[in-house]
Amino acid sequence: MERTEPLVVETDSIENAVLDAARNWKILPEDVQVRILEEGKRFLGFFARKTRVELFPSGDLEILKAKSVLSGILQQMGMDVEVRMGEEEVLNITGADAGIVIGRYGETLKALEYLLNLIYREGRPSRPIRLDSDGYRERREENLKRIALASAREALRRRRPVTMEPMTSWERRVVHLALKDHLEVDTRSVGDEPQRRVVIWPRSGSRQKNRLN
């Protein structure tokens, strides 16, 4: 998680302080947390002493920046959805149009995920930003496991490598893990993003170890 120094400010308005912090960090105001250090005091209707507060992001700053950008993109698309932080820092899209955001075969969701990772890859080189919409990831994971096993059977039947469709890093990892204990096939990721894909081949043809990337 990216470490961000909290902001300590004295203010007449906590709401304005939150808005300023959100602009400074390029995140949504809802993702700014506040801790009151010292209550302000009023005298004759005016603040004799301002409120002293500490402000800090509610999570990983790069993820929260991506959440803000994604929310803006979806708003511009006219989607009736909300973006929330899910488990394992997955940005989860919910709402009436969540299914539309997924797109045909998940292509719209993948495109959004790819775009965000292009923008923020320098801040998170080893941890890609992941998106979900209306429980799509769970359904996709189960489907990928079935496809991986079917592709392994095909590789054994044909006695030649089987190349799968281009996948995101998360999808490739699901395939690698689904077959990592398979006794008769090996897997490897090949190619460059966004066309990187998994190749499965009979173990008799190669002794390469699974590569989870």
Q: Which residues pair with 84 in a beta bridge?
A: 92
The answer to whether position 1 is within a domain reads no
pLDDT at position 209 over 50: no
Tens-digit pLDDT profile for residues 49-84: 788 999 999 999 999 999 999 999 999 999 999 999
Structural domain containing residue 100: 62-134
CA nearest 79: which of 46, 112, 45?
A: 112
pLDDT at position 124 over 90: no
Sheet bearing 32-38, strands edge to edge: 7-11, 51-57, 32-38
Question: Rounded mean pLDDT of 2-14?
Answer: 85
- CA separation for the pair 99, 92 (Å, rounded): 12
The answer to whether position 213 is within a domain reads no
- CA separation for the pair 176, 173 (Å, rounded): 5
The pLDDT score that the predictor gives to residue 47 is 55
- CA separation for the pair 65, 141 (Å, rounded): 26
The pLDDT score that the predictor gives to residue 120 is 84
Q: Do both 101 and 165 map to the same domain?
A: no
Q: Do both 176 and 157 map to the same domain?
A: yes
Q: Do both 69 and 119 map to the same domain?
A: yes
Number of domains in the chain: 3
Q: Do both 178 and 198 map to the same domain?
A: yes
Q: Do both 83 and 109 map to the same domain?
A: yes
57: enclosing H helix or E strand: strand 51-57
Q: Do both 100 and 79 map to the same domain?
A: yes
The pLDDT score that the predictor gives to residue 19 is 97
CA nearest 169: which of 187, 193, 145?
A: 193
Evaluate whether 70 touches 91 at the Cβ level (below 8 Å): yes
Question: CA angle, corner 77, sides to 75 and 83, nearest 5?
Answer: 45
